[in-house]
Structure 1
């Protein structure tokens, strides 16, 4: 089982997502919680690595279990404020982009339940 910390960054009705360029799907920024880290500490580290952005971790929005093929992950989900206006991916295989919350139903977001959570929070 993998433990993941995910950021929900919302500005002016749009949410920040990351795209896996080779596969085309989108996901919420964040990443693996390393040994000895809390999900909050891992999230700040991952956002600095992925987006060269500082982050203020706010409210815990919940935990989401996700299983596909042989993988099982637990996502710890937090509201986050970034210290940059237009974050840019620092990873060549990823792109960052803003999507209107009301349009998430038409976007290939994985895990889907996370996108549904964001829509329900509106």
Structure 2
């Protein structure tokens, strides 16, 4: 089964906002599942409100990124997003949120890795 995911790329001052599920240890881009009847744009805004209690403005659509691992298959709808909080805090006890310097992203366990590489390529072009 293919899962539809909406992901936010939030860049600020040379850093990117990432979320970590404490039990697994790796970091990922904020967002989550697109619910039945919901657009990916609405899903990314809803997920950011639920996970981080922030308002979000989509500034660009980066496209779709396919990710497969251990029998899972997901299509990530990726958006550049601006949020209305300087230092968002996770609203869910199993999640942590934090800013990561782009220069350290190569050494950070971020999944899907292809999305992290896309963010780095974008930052290097600027």
TM-score higher than 0.5: yes
- Which position in structure 2 is the counterpart of 1:64? 65
Unaligned regions of 5+ residues in structure 1, if any?
none
Unaligned regions of 5+ residues in structure 2, if any?
none
- Which position in structure 1 is the counterpart of 2:121? 120
Aligned length: 122
Distance in 2, Cα, partners of 1:10 & 1:36:
29
DSSP-derived class of the 2:36 partner: coil
Compute the TM-score of the two structures, normalised by the length of structure 2: 0.95
How far 1:31 moved relative to its partner? Answer: 0.4
Compute the TM-score of the two structures, normalised by the length of structure 1: 0.98
- Which position in structure 2 is the counterpart of 1:7? 8
Can you list the C-alpha shifts for 1:55-105, whole angstroms capped at 9, x where unaligned? 001201121000011110000000000011100000101100111112111
Q: How do residues 10-29 of structure 1 correspond to structure 2 at under 5 angstroms?
A: 10-29=11-30
